[in-house]
Amino acid sequence: MNLLPLNGKAAYVESGVWANKAIKEAKLFGTTEVVATSKDKNFSYVPKNYSIPKDASYLHLTSNNTIYGTQIKAYPESPIPVVCDMSSDIFSKPVDVSKFDLIYAGAQKNMGPAGVTLVIVKNDILGKTGRSNPTMFEYQTHIDSDSLYNTPPVFPIYVCMATLEWLQSIGGVAAIEKINNQKAEMLYSEIDSNPMFQGTAAAEDRSFMNACFLLTNPELEDDFNKVLKENGIIGLKGHRSVGGFRASMYNALPLESVKVLTTIMKEFAMQKA
């Protein structure tokens, strides 16, 4: 809406549900070209080495795919502006913001409560669509009013501030990246070495925020779910489109929680051997 000109075209990489939803919405405003997709393998990998059309107004990417457990590790060199949805992994690692023309993210994973949205945008890409948008939907409206055009949700913003102060106090995104890497490496190591489990995402594209995995014997799912419940672990059920299990390891999750889960996985395998 803010970037797609009348009679213009936008390029999208379809890497999961949220990318698909973005494509659906973009089609309401103009021509949308899907330049790459991983739908052929149920979004278990991140598309790579695709051609980016120079006549498109922007390239849209989704950095992390929560449902399928994949994450972009290296961003493509693009001849056109790059837009990225970083809702589920922003502030989990350092990002070279200069490589993007617009970054947007919901706060609800690593930043704060749902209901707050972060947008980082280069001013010079705005105001070129030739269309008149509703006032609230214009980024320039919020830029001109220092994000205070409407009454802000004060409490969620305060929680975001407190969360970012905590993040800064432990060393910022560089420090949390080390912790997140430890968590992910610990869990994926157990998934790969434990004969009871197997990962669903391509190894090179595995998300460090959301690890998706299956039991090699699906008939044992009820037993494993029972063990998880007995140990106070909830929310590990995978999305219905992939099944199995999904362990989310956002910034707030301590390393100790991953240790508990991997210990349970080891013990479960020994019991069922």
Residues known to be catalytic: 18, 85, 109
Burial class (CB in 10 A: 0-12, 13-18, 19+), 221: middle
Burial class (CB in 10 A: 0-12, 13-18, 19+), 194: middle
Cα gap 105→111, rounded to integer Å: 9
Give the helix ranges, DSSP H, for 130-171: 139-144, 154-169
User: In degrees rounded to 5, what are phi and psi of residue 102?
Assistant: -150, 130
Cα gap 36→53, rounded to integer Å: 11
Torsion of CA 249, 252, 256, 257, to 10 degrees: -50
Task: Specify whether the CB–CB gap between 34 and 14 falls below 8 A.
Answer: yes
Cα gap 245→67, rounded to integer Å: 10
Q: How far is CA 201 from CA 46, 89, 160, 213, 251, in A?
A: 9, 17, 31, 8, 21
User: In degrees rounded to 5, what are phi and psi of residue 164?
Assistant: -70, -35
Cα gap 138→126, rounded to integer Å: 9
